[in-house]
Amino acid sequence: MIDTATPRTPARSITPGASRPLYVELADSLQSLVEQGTLRPGHRVPSVRIMSRQRDVSIATVLQAYTVLENRGYLEARPQSGYYVRPRPPSLAPEPRMAKPMAKPSYVGVNDLTAEVMDFAQNQDYVPFGSACPHHSLFPTKKLARILGSVARRDPALLVRSSLNRGYEPLAREIARRYLQAGVPLAHDELVITTGCTEALNLTLRAVTKPGDTVAIETPAYFGFLEIIQSLNLRALEIPTCSRQGICLDELRTAIEQNDVKAVMLMPSLHNPLGSVMPDEKKARLYDLLCEYDLPAIEDDIYGDTHFGDVRPKPLKAWDKDGRVLLCSSFGKTLAPGFHVGWTAPGRYLERVRRLKFTNTMGTPVVLQKALAEFLRDGGYDHHLRSLRRAYQQHLHSFAQGMQKHFPEGTRYSRPQGGNFIWVELPAKVDTLRLRKDALAHKINIAPGNLFSVKERYKNCLRMSCSVPWSDEIEAALRKLGDLIKQQL
Amino acid sequence: MIDTATPRTPARSITPGASRPLYVELADSLQSLVEQGTLRPGHRVPSVRIMSRQRDVSIATVLQAYTVLENRGYLEARPQSGYYVRPRPPSLAPEPRMAKPMAKPSYVGVNDLTAEVMDFAQNQDYVPFGSACPHHSLFPTKKLARILGSVARRDPALLVRSSLNRGYEPLAREIARRYLQAGVPLAHDELVITTGCTEALNLTLRAVTKPGDTVAIETPAYFGFLEIIQSLNLRALEIPTCSRQGICLDELRTAIEQNDVKAVMLMPSLHNPLGSVMPDEKKARLYDLLCEYDLPAIEDDIYGDTHFGDVRPKPLKAWDKDGRVLLCSSFGKTLAPGFHVGWTAPGRYLERVRRLKFTNTMGTPVVLQKALAEFLRDGGYDHHLRSLRRAYQQHLHSFAQGMQKHFPEGTRYSRPQGGNFIWVELPAKVDTLRLRKDALAHKINIAPGNLFSVKERYKNCLRMSCSVPWSDEIEAALRKLGDLIKQQL
């Protein structure tokens, strides 16, 4: 079972120069090309036939070597296309362990910590290791400002027009068009435009549950999920989740069988905080499981466009035949966090969600929706996304190296396949709540593990936000954080 | 009891030329000056001494005449200032009757009609008698567009900045400054900026109740209140409300004593749909009542700035000594409906509401908040408000005259003291649901009375929106509506 397996300990045991089989030698040689950056994530490696000729080894040896590298997490096979370098920080450090299952669903307690972390995230005097807000230099703000100003000047009546619960149609069409490219056939009128992804999650969750119901979520979970669940008087059931391949389906099935689960809420593509992506065949199996137990799933796809691979991960919604997947997302991580414009494609719950949108916030500013629609149509959104992904990947790379340099031995790091977080499991003795206090005294804000669970599962973990460009100040802050961690050991 | 009294039948019995006392003669003469528009709403009438000299009558006669006109609703006395022409449509038609009390609180049923009316309100092919969206020509859209464009250009980083749950401080300061002028001392950090008034109402209601609780509201009630109550699984208890002076306090007291009321949600200043304003002393008594039963009150003040008198009605919040009044409002009716920027001053529930804001929609676009702050600071907001109020008043005047011309005898009309609605009680036989169907066939959208109650109290009523400037087309639509009504008699 791929998703319940303890993460592999990578190739640390390989000692160059020792007597090794030919295929391991080839694998090691290719691995070092990846680690030196000659072969970069997303690159296609030579075909088996060509490599066999180049290195003068048999086809079987090449195949074995590629399989080893696949196992080590350096390559991935793509059907009918060959082998590709996998997007990952070039690290040999161990990966975080998967959590234990939870016996019973639990109401979420009010966690003042979340509010506190968010408060500090807004304070520019603190190093933002705890914040999810990407740095403004990553976004085409000037172009967006020009478009916004132009839209307002050309059609000032927009400023007094309420979009009510429908959303601005040309924007919905652009969003639908992009999903089509990502493998999700959607009509524009299946979408509801919302106040960011957060409202989309609220409305969809309210559409499929009533107070007291149980919702299955991943663990660790985005703390916003926990806050929403708490505020709606729902109970959370945390399902062990693999830091590479997402929620464990066997554990999910067991949880559903043993509890009265009413909905599943998850991030199958680029999970926050793990950065995991469920493989396609696993998404297909997840959808079958939902059908088997007749459950709706709320899919948060907000990081989907920040993947490092060549192909955008398909949303779970792509498998949805009967409208049970409520897809939610926004432009908050990719284009205009300050616009707070999101959407949902809530499938069979469309009318209910539309009504809740009207009741909850009535409408979403049309002038912002129109500016986004124009940017998507001819502002070079895809070009921007490519450079954004490159920037995110570079940040992750630098942060991963920095942490491995300054954090203690035995620390485990996730291998995010996109986005801008690394999930860090520190040695068991470390208490990241205490670390947080110490770090704040040095003007460093962090997001401690306790935020990511209703139980105190992750007291030695933290989510490292790699949202700012690498700099000497950032490295100094990482070093300071490392020192504070080591003081606890 | 001023607020339970049947509205007075005005001076219909006065026949010009009949033998009348001198003071009635004087009163009639001044009344006709008001009706002809020589003395306009808000004008100060000559002092008693001057009038006595002008008309060569005794001071006692002038005083009697002014008292008669006050009783007839044409004048109002202001302490230390004299007599003023009251804002009112110059109508002698009877006013709507107050509803009967409700025996038990009731869950609100899902009303597809609201969604339908809102849908048609967005369709510009229909005459918007059912819509609350003010006409764009009433707003300084060009200036606002210029400011928005300039803000975006000057500080493009705003487009990616999330305000999270705090709101943009300079805007909060402007809002607090205006409340200070209206008699409500507020610090800027007591405010939470929201996605329109609708979100403010949701968050405050969620802060003071839990599912299943009972909320006392006015009847008729803004249908948005009913939708929100329904969506939060609360129960509504409708309290009879006078079309001039707001909720009946005796009925409210009885309701609180007989039911487990957890909160009161109301519009004390310029009620939607009635246009009523609670007098100050009544607001003081309402606040005392809240204290006596230790209840919070959610105050929707969205129409407060659209009053027709010289002095803005004081929000109930002005009496609040212990933070039990949660004041909610927005710029939706006065400046920028399309921005969906609102706020709440939730008193002692501040932290809870802030947290709910984060959980519900995370933040509100800073670029819009900054544009509003700049407009409020030096865009001539007060000047704009004065012309907006004049326009609203003219619309109401024209619509009131138009309806009295084309609607059947016996129809009753509210006397709104601001805003842009008239509440219309048609003869008992008329069914406004049927009327709505007939009207839609003629491309006229109306808001039937059933929208405004959980019970079917108002089947012969409608809320007439006077949001568009008067024109021949509007009069033709009113005439058509009048014909359709008469067909039902």
Q: Which domain holds residue B46?
A: 22-85
Q: Nearest chain B Cα to A355, which residue?
A: B115
- pLDDT tens digit string along B407-416? 999 999 999 9
B95 in any annotated domain? no
CB contact under 8 A, A162 and B133: yes
Q: Are B325 and B455 members of one domain?
A: no
A149-153: long-range contacts, CB 8 A cutoff, minimum separation 24: A149/B148, A149/B149, A149/B150, A149/B152, A149/B153, A150/B149, A151/A367, A151/A370, A151/A371, A151/A374, A152/A367, A152/B144, A152/B145, A152/B146, A152/B148, A152/B149, A153/B145, A153/B146, A153/B149
| Confidence (pLDDT) at B469 | 86
CA of B203, closest CA in chain A: separation in Å? 9
| Confidence (pLDDT) at B177 | 94
CB contact under 8 A, A365 and B206: no
* Of the candidate ranges A81-90, A250-259, A473-482, B145-154, the one whose mean pLDDT is the lowest: A81-90
Q: Which residue, A334, A353, A379, sits at the end of a domain?
A: A379
What average pLDDT does range A447-457 have in this prediction? 91
Q: Are A352 and A415 members of one domain?
A: no
Q: Which residue, B379, B400, B422, sits at the end of a domain?
A: B379
Q: Are B233 and B293 members of one domain?
A: yes
Q: For residue B146, which residues of chain A lie inside 8 Å, CB to CB? A: 152-153
Q: Are A289 and A404 members of one domain?
A: no
A346 in any annotated domain? yes
Task: Give the burial class of B222: count Cβ atoms within 10 A of its Cβ; 0-12 exposed, 13-18 middle, 19 or more buried.
Answer: buried
CA torsion through residues A472, A473, A474, A480, sign:
positive
B window 201-230, beta carbon within 8 A of A: 202, 206, 210-211, 224, 227-228, 230
B window 331-360, beta carbon within 8 A of A: 332, 336-340, 354-356, 358-360
* Of the candidate ranges A217-221, A466-470, B427-431, the one whose mean pLDDT is the lowest: A466-470
| Confidence (pLDDT) at B81 | 83
CB contact under 8 A, A118 and B198: no
In the A/B pair of chains, how many CB contacts fall below 8 A? 207
Q: Are B366 and B445 members of one domain?
A: no
- The proportion of chain A whose per-residue pLDDT surpasses 90, expressed as a percent, equals 67
Q: Are A187 and A278 members of one domain?
A: yes
Closest-CA residue to A92 (of A389, A415, A335, A356): A415
- pLDDT tens digit string along B151-160? 999 999 989 8
Query: Does residue B130 belong to the interface with chain A, where contact is any CB pair within 8 Å?
Result: no
Q: How confident is the model at residue A224 (pLDDT cuts 50, 70, 90)?
A: very high
Query: Does residue B141 belong to the interface with chain A, where contact is any CB pair within 8 Å?
Result: yes
CA of A222, closest CA in chain B: separation in Å? 12
Beta bridge mates, B263: B215
- Tally the domains of chain B: 3
| Residue A181 pLDDT exceeds 60 | yes
Query: Does residue A123 belong to the interface with chain B, where contact is any CB pair within 8 Å?
Result: no
A2 in any annotated domain? no
Q: Are B372 and B420 members of one domain?
A: no
| Confidence (pLDDT) at B225 | 96
Q: How confident is the model at residue A7 (pLDDT cuts 50, 70, 90)?
A: very low
The identity of residue A443, as a single letter, is K
| Residue A168 pLDDT exceeds 50 | yes
What average pLDDT does range B351-373 have in this prediction? 94
- pLDDT tens digit string along B55-92? 899 999 999 999 888 877 788 888 788 898 887 644 56
* Of the candidate ranges A163-172, A277-286, A353-362, the one whose mean pLDDT is the lowest: A163-172
Q: How confident is the model at residue B455 (pLDDT cuts 50, 70, 90)?
A: confident
| Confidence (pLDDT) at A94 | 86
A window 369-408, beta carbon within 8 A of B: none
Q: Which residue, A379, A403, A427, sits at the end of a domain?
A: A379
CB contact under 8 A, A149 and B152: yes
Q: For residue A359, which residues of chain B lie inside 8 Å, CB to CB? A: 198, 202, 224, 227-228, 230-231
- For strands A261-266 and A297-300, give the pairing: parallel
Q: Are A364 and A387 members of one domain?
A: no
Task: Name the residue facing B159 among A164, A339, A365 (closest C-beta).
Answer: A339
Q: How confident is the model at residue B456 (pLDDT cuts 50, 70, 90)?
A: confident
Q: Are A126 and A183 members of one domain?
A: no
- Radius of gyration from C-alpha coordinates of chain A: 23
What average pLDDT does range B121-131 have in this prediction? 85
| Residue B203 pLDDT exceeds 50 | yes
Q: Which residue has the higher pLDDT, A315 or B43?
A: A315
| Confidence (pLDDT) at A15 | 42
B141 in any annotated domain? no
What average pLDDT does range B111-138 have in this prediction? 82
B91 in any annotated domain? no
ipTM of model: 0.82
CA of A359, closest CA in chain B: separation in Å? 6
CB contact under 8 A, B139 and A160: yes
Q: Are B305 and B249 members of one domain?
A: yes
Q: How confident is the model at residue B424 (pLDDT cuts 50, 70, 90)?
A: very high
| Confidence (pLDDT) at A303 | 96
Q: What is the CATH number of the domain that holds B452?
A: 3.90.1150.10
**CA–CA dist B170, B165 (Å, integer):** 15
Task: Name the residue facing A162 among B141, B337, B366 (closest C-beta).
Answer: B337
For residue A108 the two structure tokens come to 């979420």
- pLDDT tens digit string along A391-433? 898 899 889 989 999 999 999 999 999 999 999 999 999 999 9
A275 in any annotated domain? yes
Q: What is the CATH number of the domain that holds B215?
A: 3.40.640.10
Q: Are A15 and A130 members of one domain?
A: no
**CA–CA dist A418, A303 (Å, integer):** 7
Q: For residue A165, which residues of chain B lie inside 8 Å, CB to CB? A: 115, 118
**CA–CA dist B186, B180 (Å, integer):** 7
**H or E element, residue B239:** strand B235-242
- CB-based contacts of A288, cutoff 8 Å, min separation 6: none
Task: Name the residue facing A152 among B148, B165, B361 (closest C-beta).
Answer: B148
CB contact under 8 A, B158 and A338: yes
A101 in any annotated domain? no
Q: What is the CATH number of the domain that holds A33?
A: 1.10.10.10
Asked if B123 and A170 touch (Cβ cutoff 8 Å), the reply is: no
Residue reference for tokens 């005097």 = A125
A100 in any annotated domain? no
- pLDDT tens digit string along B322-340? 999 999 999 999 999 999 9
Q: Are A180 and A329 members of one domain?
A: yes
